[in-house]
Amino acid sequence: MARNGERHYETVIGLEVHAQVLTASKMFCGCSAHYADAPPNTHVCPVCGGFPGALPVMNRAAVEKIVLTGLALNCDVPAFSKMDRKNYFYPDLPKGYQVSQYDLPLCVDGFLELAVDGEMRRIGITRVHAEEDTGRLVHRREHGREVSLVDLNRSGVPLMEIVGEPDLRSPEEAREYLVALRQILRYIGVSSGNMEEGAFRCDANISVREIGGPLGAKVEIKNMNSFRAVERALRYEEERQRAILDAGDNVAQETRGWVEDRGVTVGQRTKEQAHDYRYFPEPDLPPLHVSAEMAAAVRERLPELPMARRQRLRERFGFAAADAALLTAEREVADIFEAVVGAEGDGERARTAANWIVNDISGLQRARGLPPEQLPLDVEQLRDLLDVVGEGALTTRAAKELLPEIAPGERPRDAAARLNLLALDDEAAVRDAALAAIDAFPAAVADYAGGKTAAIGRLIGETIKRTGGRAKPDQVRRLLEDELSRR
Ligand SMILES: [Zn+2]
Residue 132 has pLDDT above 80, yes or no: yes
pLDDT, tens digit, 9 for 90 and up, residues 150-203: 999 999 999 999 999 999 999 999 999 999 999 999 999 999 999 988 999 999
Average pLDDT over residues 204-232: 91
Q: How far apart are CA 439 and CA 66, in angstroms?
A: 71
Q: What is residue 411's predicted lDDT score, i.e. its pLDDT?
A: 95
Average pLDDT over residues 280-285: 96
Domain range summary for the chain, segments of one domain joined by +: 2-295, 314-376, 427-485
Average pLDDT of every residue of the chain: 92
Q: Residue 1's pLDDT band (boundaries 50, 70, 90)?
A: very low
Average pLDDT over residues 414-420: 91
Residue 125 has pLDDT above 60, yes or no: yes
Partners of 160 in the β-ladder = 19, 130
Average pLDDT over residues 429-456: 90
How far away, in angstroms, is 130 Cα from ligand 1 center? 17
How far away, in angstroms, is 288 Cα from ligand 1 center? 21
Q: What is residue 109's predicted lDDT score, i.e. its pLDDT?
A: 98
How far away, in angstroms, is 28 Cα from ligand 1 center? 7
How far away, in angstroms, is 29 Cα from ligand 1 center? 5
Average pLDDT over residues 354-377: 94
Q: What is residue 5's predicted lDDT score, i.e. its pLDDT?
A: 52
Residue 4 has pLDDT above 80, yes or no: no
How far away, in angstroms, is 295 Cα from ligand 1 center? 28
Q: Residue 305's pLDDT band (boundaries 50, 70, 90)?
A: very high
How far away, in angstroms, is 166 Cα from ligand 1 center? 36
Average pLDDT over residues 10-23: 97
How far away, in angstroms, is 189 Cα from ligand 1 center? 23
Average pLDDT over residues 44-54: 95
How far away, in angstroms, is 128 Cα from ligand 1 center? 24
How far away, in angstroms, is 185 Cα from ligand 1 center? 25
Average pLDDT over residues 307-329: 92
Q: What percent of the chain has pLDDT over 70?
A: 98
Residue 473 has pLDDT above 80, yes or no: yes
Q: What is residue 387's predicted lDDT score, i.e. its pLDDT?
A: 93
Average pLDDT over residues 127-140: 96
Average pLDDT over residues 430-448: 90
CATH T-level assignment (fold) for domain 427-485: Arc Repressor Mutant, subunit A (1.10.10)
Q: What is residue 423's predicted lDDT score, i.e. its pLDDT?
A: 83
Q: Residue 232's pLDDT band (boundaries 50, 70, 90)?
A: very high
Query: Global pTM?
Result: 0.86
Q: What is residue 220's predicted lDDT score, i.e. its pLDDT?
A: 95
Q: Which residue has the higher pLDDT, 397 or 178?
A: 178
Residue 430 has pLDDT above 60, yes or no: yes
Residue 453 has pLDDT above 80, yes or no: yes
How far away, in angstroms, is 155 Cα from ligand 1 center? 8
pLDDT, tens digit, 9 for 90 and up, residues 286-302: 999 999 999 999 999 99
Residue 466 has pLDDT above 70, yes or no: yes
